[in-house]
Amino acid sequence: MKFNRTYSLYCQVGPYSKPATTSGSTVPVDGVFTSYATNSVTINPPYTVEFSIKREILATAQTANFKIYNLAEKTRDAIYKEWFNGGAYSEIQFRAGYENQFVPLIFNGNVRQAYSTRVGRNNIVTEIEAFDGGFAQANSYSNFTLPPSSTLSDTIIRLNSDLIKTFPTPIIGTVPKFVNQRASVFCGPTYNLIQNLLPSGVNATIDNNQLKVLSNSDSFKVNDQIFVISSATGLLDIPMRQGNFIQVKMLFEPRLTLGQQVQLISEDIPIYNNIYPVQGITHQGIISPSVNGPLTTTVNLYLGPNGATTFSGNTVLPQ
């Protein structure tokens, strides 16, 4: 049952500092000269949070916007970051769901900018804009050689180890099985190297700080189950065909993740009833003990010409 919304927002805050050697000179962390937040705050109900989270299987970073209302002065003053200070790393994690249920992690990234403003007469709003995977995409660098007989999966796993601040286990779908006959040298921005390796129809993205390399039709089960989207699980509107995708709007569903296999059951347009991979998720709305606002999830399902392809064996998800 989808009652009693709840959330937890963890955010690292300044001041920012660089690790130093005994001589006082700065040294890189994970190979990058940057500064890292030294403090953190955790925000929970009864504070009102309004948010929009967009996750897609694309080469670009996932994005999120959070607005927290009327925090204590000390807390809101601590949550501050200039947008142009891209070399300062502040982790942000947002969990949301329903009471008496598992509350999953639905956004895991870093803060792009944060500030507070007055809205109307009575509300001071602290706004946080964040990227998921943006820091790894911009700052990760690789320089290594792989021996002959290395497969594409071997190469992706090795490149993933150079991605900064990401989950150690990537999810790799049905990529081609070709093997390098000679030693291969990789030198350059890590995320660019990954993108340049992939053949047409295979996409790489960083979702919840985890690299996912999937073809358009790839999908995986979570806990060996296919998630059902129907009126019983919160389907709000009729499915909408958009090119090779089907867009579905439902009550807030935090258990969905990119690449997950779902079964669509619509009583209004049963022609679209089938099993699909999730290629896009947008969570949008408000969680508040005092405001009964809307909270929905819009899911983009890949229709494609041949349906979903299921794979298994390395679908380890961050909790």
Residues 229 and 153 in one domain: no
Examine the pLDDT at 21 and tell me if it is beyond 60.
Answer: no
HSE-CB at 25 with a 13 A cutoff on CA atoms is: 2
β partners of residue 26: 20
Mean pLDDT of the 109-121 span = 93
- At residue 22, the pLDDT reads 47
- At residue 1, the pLDDT reads 65
Examine the pLDDT at 25 and tell me if it is beyond 60.
Answer: no
Residues 95 and 117 in one domain: yes
Q: Is residue 120 part of a domain?
A: yes
Number of domains in the chain: 3
Residues 240 and 196 in one domain: no
pLDDT tens, position by position, 126-143: 999 999 988 899 889 999
Please give the residue range of the domain that contains residue 56.
Answer: 5-132
pLDDT tens, position by position, 155-185: 999 999 999 888 899 999 988 877 778 888 9
- At residue 305, the pLDDT reads 67
Domain final position from 132, 150, 167 = 132
pLDDT tens, position by position, 261-287: 999 999 999 999 999 999 999 999 999
Strands (E), 198-302: 202-207, 210-215, 218-219, 227-229, 240-242, 245-251, 261-264, 274-287, 295-302
pLDDT tens, position by position, 139-160: 899 999 999 988 999 999 999 9
Examine the pLDDT at 190 and tell me if it is beyond 50.
Answer: yes
Mean pLDDT of the 241-263 span = 94
Confidence band (pLDDT; 50, 70, 90) for 75? very high
Residues 240 and 256 in one domain: yes
| Residue 81 CB contacts under 8 Å (≥ 6 apart), including other chains | 13, 14, 88, 90, 111, 112, 113, 114, 115
- At residue 50, the pLDDT reads 97
Residues 250 and 281 in one domain: yes
